[in-house]
Amino acid sequence: MADALSLITIVEIVATIANLLYIIFLIREKIICWSFGIAGSLLSIYLFVDARLYSEAFLYGFYVVMGCWGWLRWHQRLETDNNPIVRWPLNLHWCALLLGSIISVGLGYAVYHYSDAERPLLDAFTTVFSLFATYLEIAKVLETWVYWLILNLVSVWLYHDRALDIYAVLIGCYSVLSIWGFVSWRRVYQLQSNAEN
């Protein structure tokens, strides 16, 4: 039991470092961010299965796939149009919030009734909206950081509740980094807009 606990702790620390490097490089718009994101996500799958947060484990599996796509997409866009930051109109965000809420309730209900998952509705909410926020990262939509700030604050409590305290601290750091990400990307977006005018 002690060996299993120490293995979990070691995996959690290594995954935390990889995931932290991912977010820092993402904020700085460095393509290397995706390699750290993929590595951290692979390690995280193991942790979440062990903690019986199955929606989170699925989410991190999705992050692995999206990390590969993000790496390819950013590389292609750098070659063609310098991979600019963009903004979405408010009506698209309202549609995403409505659709995401409906899917979250459905997923939470299914997981509650067909597994031994802990906190299925909250787990489903963070999972569904993290999928969406990840897509916005890859598309370099400025508002991704607003979604991440809210998701990170909710996830701090969820991870602490499941005794993933190192991850809870990491996600707390992500909350602060989400603010930095928004400010940094907004500044770049404004510079891009000024250069176009």
Phi, psi of 86 (to 5 degrees): -125, 170
- What does the pLDDT read at residue 70? 93
User: What band does 2 get if pLDDT is binned at 50, 70 and 90?
Assistant: very low
pLDDT for 99-121, tens place per residue?
A: 999 999 998 888 777 777 667 78
**For residues 100-129, b (16+ Cβ closer than 10 Å) or e, as one string?**
beebbeebbeebeeeeebebbbbbbbbbbb
From CA 20, how far away is CA 37, in angstroms rounded? 9
Bridge partners of 86, per DSSP, are 141
pLDDT for 55-88, tens place per residue?
A: 778 878 989 999 999 999 998 887 787 788 999 9
pLDDT at 5 over 70: no
Within 10 Å of residue 180's Cβ, how many Cβ atoms? 13
Tokens describing residue 108: 């939470």
pLDDT for 26-53, tens place per residue?
A: 999 999 999 999 999 999 998 888 887 7
CB distance 15 to 40 below 8 Å: yes
- The total number of structural domains in the chain stands at 1
**pTM reported for the whole predicted model:** 0.81
> Domain residues for 22?
2-196
Q: What is the mean pLDDT of residues 12-30?
A: 92
pLDDT at 157 over 80: yes
- What does the pLDDT read at residue 197? 67
From CA 95, how far away is CA 124, in angstroms rounded? 18
pLDDT at 3 over 60: no
